[in-house]
Structure 1
Amino acid sequence: MAAEQPTTERLALALAPPGARPAAPSAVEGAAGRFLARERGKAPRNKGKSPEMGSSSAAEAVGDQPNPRDDDDDLDWTAAPVADVAMPPPTPAYPVDERERDVLLIKLLRSTVDAVAIGKLDLASDGMRWVADLASPDGRSLQRLASAFAEALALYVIVPFHGLCRLLQLPQAAPPGEVAAARHRFRGICPFVRIAGASANLSILEAMDNEEGVVHVVDLGGSDINQWVELVRLFAARPRGPPGLLRVTVVNEADDVLSAAEGYLTAEAQRLDINFTFRRVQSSIDALTGVGGALGIVAGQSLAVIANLQMHRLLAYRKEARNGKGPAGEQSAQHTMTTKADALLRAIRGLSPKLMVLTEQEADHNVDELQPRVWNAMNYYAALFDAVEESAPLVSPGDRASVERWLLGEEIRDIVVCVGSARRERHEKLERWGARMVAAGFSPATMAKALGMTEALARQVAAGGGAGAAVGVLRAVQAGGCFPMICWSNKPVFSVSTWTVRRSVVRPPEAAADAGASGSHHGGGPASSSAAMVFDV
């Protein structure tokens, strides 16, 4: 039996220019064919744009999805689909060939998103009916991905009807225990977060190479206990020996996580004969106040701060609303540098850390408009679903389903369904984070030794096969620094950037906001995509 075509490649085929993909199968020409009619004959939606980071056809076709900020006439998201769509036959005859079914599935899902966005809920209902026939939470990786997005889209439609949601008990909050377990399984199944954690540790070790006094490492939440155990071991193995005192402060909402971290780290430090103290801060990053006092910062001690997949959660909250209108939440050019995340970055800069490590998803989901938000997310999560799929021989179906439902699925729901301050998964690409870091008073710090070791680690993981077979590291050049970009089949999925305090800080709020806005183009073209900043290794 031939190997299954990766989800990202099937997405590329489905979203390729009309002349490069098979026509919609005649078996569904009646209802579904008319539903898809407006998709035919259009120019490719990423016309004239370069593929992202020298990537595969997946990123070429999906990574440059329609951008409402472009001026192209064929990207008019307000254009209505066909006025009338016939109901499907009771038993539609879908194509037998998997490739053709996948093409049809993605085209139907795309048109359904369009219909929802312009309020054509009758068309959206028809589209969801057919998508439900072709997608499956228990099928192949593309079917599972489409099922997750279709479910999120259905929730997006029904959530404004509060009475219906109350009667149906929707949406239901994810059980915290399931989410935590799924996150732990994902770290075990896919190597992305582990490589990012190792890169952060190596960067801290390199920055603190000459420090023999007190080294204070602050985790703003999101890091794994194993990452800090490994950091303790790295300091113990230094040729010059460990620092005089290693302090670790961890921010986390869960008391059991903090207790476990304290126990493991203290035991390991004792075993390695390292002078060590642990400080717990039971809080979420959202509620963190009085940063210096809460984190136990002591002047004169060498400080490293790491924010691991957390900072984007603060982008929904504006520190101030310059126009005084509307609820805090959606990003705009006027508010790009006035979020709670930017305020926290400035507060951290005020602590004068020797190094700050920022790990974030390399994605563009902090967008107001529904269509680009959904398709940017589809592009991103296709790579993660493919990576999970590759682990199938070594991972139980139950563990895989747990990761896709309670971790990736919950993130997809948040991105698609939630609006305003309710949406927390507001991922931004390294280019945007670079602008925020510079505006907050940081300068890029290239950790050359750590970068080389991260690349070597990725090659070692790839040689092991399984979910790590397609893992790699590209070098991203941003704001004058060079950082590791962790990839799956050349599709960037996580970035790890390292920063130090800039000596002189210039913070004109108006200029910072305007400069940040002018350099940001959601959806990515050659001027804004990471392609212009990355070279292959």
Structure 2
Amino acid sequence: MDVTRESSSLASLELLNTFGCRLKRLRAEQGNNLSYSATSGPSRKELSTVDIIKAAMDKFLGLTSQSCGDPCMLVHSGYSGFSSDIDDEVEPVLFLLASADKVANEQFDRARKLLSMCTHLASGTGSPVQRLVYYFAQALDERIERKIGMVSSEGLNDCKRWLSLLEEATISLQPPLVAFGLAVPSCLVYKSAAIQSILDAMTSATRIHIIDLGLKNGMHWPFLMQALAVRHECPIESLTITALVTSSEEMIKDTGKRLSQFAYTLGLPFSFKTAVVHDINDLKEDCFEIETGERIGVYSSMLLRNVVAQPGQFQTLIRVIKNLHPSVMVMIEQEADTTSSDFMDRFIGGLIHFSALFDAVEVCLGDSNPQRMALEGNYFCPGIRQIVTFEVEERAAWDLKIKDWRALFNSFNIVEKDLSSSALYQASLVIKNSAYSNLCTLSMDEKSLLSEWRGTPLFSLSAWEFLP
């Protein structure tokens, strides 16, 4: 293969037009405060993984004005103003973006030649950028194989198997996921603030019933139990947590036993229940054993992303929950844009989201940490596959931005509530006490709280009220 001749065709006007409008919109939405000098640019240690990805994207725009057809030559031409170590990081991203464009246009032979360059320049054990390119290139190659019929087209069932394995790993407290949840402030911040939001909605309630739409390991509930156990102004008569269960029923029951034992040590009147359905479309109001006088709160963490992807399930779940008349529903979801019908739009959205995740685990867990390596290979990689390899309708989970959730909820007459000052204080306290408070920040999107890593939103926390 003549790599030079092949690479010289990467930056055609067609390619630039494809990326141009997207990158301008990306800069407008997320900001790009980088400034590059023609004589002395920033060093690698001064730039995050997201910065490198955006710099590579910008380079495609630069190709138009420079009339340069070879991204490899552009990297080394002095045009960028980058140091050589950044040039080495930008180059594999350029090949990745070019190959993704060819996949989008079903030019699979050309895409595979470009992917071979990604394989040469990237590595699953290299820098965060190289690892990111490595996993995205793998997913692109798998997409090609499915498109040309080299592998069976399992689609939705494949995605569902991964979600099931992820749920079981979360319930059983697998070390890589525990390490991620404890080390990255963006993960810690929303749990305490979400529980505080429920407490604030239940200040006058003596009988509280929480419906957890994605219980998993239940590590978030001891905080609420401890707060209720010492509440003297309005003593608790009963606390019930009902877990909505669609799989891993026995593991969820084990979680319930642990919560019951913890409540017993606090002297808190507590009961644990399950609402078991194998298909959300079969859910009914009587699946939840609500007793007279109970105040209801709903907690949803990374569950609605699964439900909204399945036909009819979101509508069924919302209808049932609405008929239970909860005082509040708090929702935690990933803040990402990966559901566009346009392949390149969702590819870029996924690339930006995972670049922030890769950067966060690199900083918080360390380069040589075995939990970091297992996290990326066993959990991030399948998430990348869902975005890149499969079509949107084949996926078992959809990540939406809070603005999209807001529009969806509003169509069901569900409106956003203000997060209380105490909930926002809990969130800020987590950040303040973190060793990475300069990297993990908080911002508001209308009434919702965004947890960010180096300015890229990773998670959203919101509270919702069901209107008649």
TM range (shorter): 0.7 to 0.9
Separation (CA, whole Å) in 2 of partners of 1:197 and 1:55: 29
CA drift of 1:49 comes to 7.0
Identical aligned pairs, as a percentage? 22
Query: Would the alpha carbon gap of residues 63 and 345 (structure 1) be closer, same or farther in structure 2, given more than 3 Å must change?
Result: farther
Separation (CA, whole Å) in 2 of partners of 1:163 and 1:45: 31
Residue 124 of structure 1: aligned partner? 111
Query: Would the alpha carbon gap of residues 141 and 195 (structure 1) be closer, same or farther in structure 2, given more than 3 Å must change?
Result: same
| RMSD of Structure 2 on Structure 1 (CA) | 3.5
CA drift of 1:397 comes to 2.8
Q: Which one is further off, 405-414 or 447-456?
A: 447-456
CA drift of 1:371 comes to 0.7
Q: Is the 8 Å Cα contact of residues 206 and 447 (structure 1) preserved in structure 2? A: no
Separation (CA, whole Å) in 2 of partners of 1:386 and 1:226: 25
User: SS of 2:23's equivalent?
Assistant: coil
Structure 2 residue corresponding to 1:143, chosen from 123, 126, 130: 130
Query: Would the alpha carbon gap of residues 291 and 184 (structure 1) be closer, same or farther in structure 2, given more than 3 Å must change?
Result: farther
Residue 184 of structure 1: aligned partner? 178
User: SS of 1:225's equivalent?
Assistant: coil
Separation (CA, whole Å) in 2 of partners of 1:357 and 1:65: 37
CA drift of 1:162 comes to 4.9
Residue 475 of structure 1: aligned partner? 444
Aligned residue identity for 1:97:
S
For 1:270-322, what per-residue CA distance to the aligned partner results, in whole angstroms no more than 9, with x for missing partners?
Answer: 111111100023456x5363332222233542100111111121233333xxx
Separation (CA, whole Å) in 1 of partners of 2:27 and 2:116: 35
2:237 corresponds to 1:244: yes
Residue 255 of structure 2: aligned partner? 261
CA drift of 1:380 comes to 0.7
CA drift of 1:419 comes to 2.2
Structure 1 residue corresponding to 2:340, chosen from 349, 364, 367: 367
TM score, norm. by length of structure 1: 0.71
Structure 2 residue corresponding to 1:287, chosen from 270, 280, 287: 280
Structure 1 residue corresponding to 2:351, chosen from 378, 396, 405: 378
Aligned residue identity for 2:24:
K
**How many corresponding residue pairs?**
422
CA drift of 1:374 comes to 0.6
Aligned residue identity for 1:354:
S
Q: Is the 8 Å Cα contact of residues 55 and 489 (structure 1) preserved in structure 2? A: no
CA drift of 1:29 comes to 5.0
Structure 2 residue corresponding to 1:101, chosen from 65, 84, 88: 88
For 1:341-369, what per-residue CA distance to the aligned partner results, in whole angstroms no more than 9, with x for missing partners?
Answer: 23422321121100001111111111222
Separation (CA, whole Å) in 1 of partners of 2:77 and 2:282: 56
Query: Would the alpha carbon gap of residues 443 and 100 (structure 1) be closer, same or farther in structure 2, given more than 3 Å must change?
Result: same
Separation (CA, whole Å) in 2 of partners of 1:62 and 1:315: 29
Q: Is the 8 Å Cα contact of residues 454 and 484 (structure 1) preserved in structure 2? A: no
Structure 2 residue corresponding to 1:51, chosen from 28, 32, 39: 28
User: SS of 2:280's equivalent?
Assistant: coil
Query: Would the alpha carbon gap of residues 365 and 45 (structure 1) be closer, same or farther in structure 2, given more than 3 Å must change?
Result: closer
Residue 38 of structure 2: aligned partner? none
For 1:415-448, what per-residue CA distance to the aligned partner results, in whole angstroms no more than 9, with x for missing partners?
Answer: 1112254302311110111112122222222132
Structure 2 residue corresponding to 1:221, chosen from 189, 199, 214: 214
Aligned residue identity for 2:210:
V
Query: Would the alpha carbon gap of residues 31 and 223 (structure 1) be closer, same or farther in structure 2, given more than 3 Å must change?
Result: same
Q: How does 1:63-74 map to 2 (within 5 A)?
A: none
Residue 41 of structure 2: aligned partner? none
Residue 402 of structure 1: aligned partner? 374
Query: Would the alpha carbon gap of residues 28 and 392 (structure 1) be closer, same or farther in structure 2, given more than 3 Å must change?
Result: farther
Q: How does 1:385-464 map to 2 (within 5 A)?
A: 385-393=358-366, 397-462=369-434, 464=435
Q: Which one is further off, 54-63 or 302-311?
A: 54-63
Aligned residue identity for 1:419:
E
Q: Which one is further off, 491-500 or 175-184?
A: 175-184
Q: Is the 8 Å Cα contact of residues 216 and 255 (structure 2) preserved in structure 1? A: no
2:187 corresponds to 1:198: no
Q: Is the 8 Å Cα contact of residues 411 and 425 (structure 1) preserved in structure 2? A: no
2:279 corresponds to 1:298: no
Residue 65 of structure 2: aligned partner? none
Query: Would the alpha carbon gap of residues 61 and 189 (structure 1) be closer, same or farther in structure 2, given more than 3 Å must change?
Result: closer
User: SS of 2:333's equivalent?
Assistant: strand
CA drift of 1:265 comes to 1.2
Q: Is the 8 Å Cα contact of residues 205 and 295 (structure 2) preserved in structure 1? A: yes
Unaligned runs of 5+ in 1: 1-26, 67-73, 75-81, 320-339, 504-537
CA drift of 1:261 comes to 1.7
Unaligned runs of 5+ in 2: 35-47, 62-68
Separation (CA, whole Å) in 2 of partners of 1:302 and 1:494: 27
Q: Is the 8 Å Cα contact of residues 441 and 455 (structure 2) preserved in structure 1? A: yes
Q: Is the 8 Å Cα contact of residues 190 and 427 (structure 2) preserved in structure 1? A: no
Residue 37 of structure 2: aligned partner? none
Residue 24 of structure 1: aligned partner? none
Query: Would the alpha carbon gap of residues 179 and 152 (structure 1) be closer, same or farther in structure 2, given more than 3 Å must change?
Result: farther
User: SS of 1:109's equivalent?
Assistant: helix
Query: Would the alpha carbon gap of residues 248 and 487 (structure 1) be closer, same or farther in structure 2, given more than 3 Å must change?
Result: same
